[in-house]
Amino acid sequence: MVVRACTLPFEFRDKRTRERFTKEVGVVLAREEGTVPQGEAPIDWLLLTNRPLKNVSDIKQVILGYAQRWRIEDFHRTWKSGACRVEENQLHSPEAVKKWATILAAVAVRVERIKLLSRREPERPATDEFTALELRALVLLRFGKASNKKLASGTVPTLGEATTWLAQIGGYTGKSSGGPPGSVTLARGLEELAVAVRTLEASGLDL
């Protein structure tokens, strides 16, 4: 990547008052050179920022922030119109909407985190993202009477395995897209899992 940065004066106009004013804006150019796969266009970002650009670290932070754009868009899709559908709520009070949206935002973050980690690091132990009780409930939901064989004493499934089981509970078959589990099936699975966990907790059994 070839990176260039500077600070330039930009002229702005207030739409309400129509007043014109000048403000210093940071400009970062990040361009891919020499590593572009054949047939693909190079990365070529021209970024405007209000962050100070005093050193190389500041410039890297601007580029890193923009590089997270796709993760943020995935979160918004899951939160707004995908698995959580926060935009479909019918609450009347602004405060109630804020509280509900905050709860669903936490759900969306967990869904996206499990999805991303299971794809990048499928061999991680599932205990990194699921509690012992969640794993017990997950195996019971997925395998029923055969669950003891799947989760023998001391056995820890991988994150990839647990995520697949979770998605299968949510209706994932792998046939429609052929790809890894997506946000919607994972969210459905988490909803079923939450009920199962509460049931196990209420049963008082030694699990």
Mean of the per-residue pLDDT values for the chain? Answer: 90
Is 72 within the bounds of a domain? Answer: no
- Same structural domain for residues 61 and 93? no
Closest by CA position to 100, among listed 111, 110, 115, 88: 88
The mean pLDDT value for 179-192 works out to 91
Residue 207 has pLDDT above 70, yes or no: no
- Same structural domain for residues 111 and 47? no
CA–CA separation, 129 and 163 (whole Å): 10
Sequence-distant (≥ 6) Cβ neighbours of residue 87 within 8 angstroms: 80, 81
115 alpha-carbon distance from chain centroid: 7
- Same structural domain for residues 36 and 91? no
User: What does the pLDDT look like over 162-178, one tens digit per residue?
Assistant: 999 999 999 998 776 66
Q: 5 forms bridges with which residues in the sheet?
A: 28
Answer yes or no: are the C-beta atoms of 87 and 100 closer than 8 Å.
Answer: no
Query: What is the pLDDT at residue 155?
Result: 80
- Same structural domain for residues 116 and 178? yes
- Same structural domain for residues 63 and 91? no
Q: What is the pTM of this model?
A: 0.74
Q: Which two tokens stand for residue 55?
A: 């050193």
What is the phi/psi pair of residue 29, to 5°? -110, 120
Query: What is the pLDDT at residue 150?
Result: 66
CA–CA separation, 13 and 81 (whole Å): 34
Tell the residue number behind the tokens 């739409």, with chain if given: 15
Query: What is the pLDDT at residue 19?
Result: 94
Lowest mean pLDDT among 9-13, 22-26, 32-36, 144-148: 144-148
Residues of the domain holding 155: 81-203
Residue 30 has pLDDT above 90, yes or no: yes
Q: Which two tokens stand for residue 111?
A: 């869904």
Number of domains present in the structure of the chain: 2
Query: What is the pLDDT at residue 151?
Result: 67
* Alpha-carbon separation of residue 94 from 44, 89, 90, 91, 99 (angstroms): 41, 11, 11, 8, 9
Query: What is the pLDDT at residue 174?
Result: 79
Q: Over 57-116, what HEC string results?
A: HHHHHHHHHHHCHHHHHHHHHHHHHCCCCHHHCCCCCHHHHHHHHHHHHHHHHHHHHHHH
User: What does the pLDDT look like over 55-108, one tens digit per residue?
Assistant: 999 999 999 999 999 999 999 999 998 788 998 888 999 999 999 999 999 999
Final residue before a domain boundary, out of 67, 92, 114: 67
pLDDT band for 10, please (50, 70, 90 cuts). very high
User: What does the pLDDT look like over 126-161, one tens digit per residue?
Assistant: 999 999 999 989 999 988 876 666 666 668 899 999
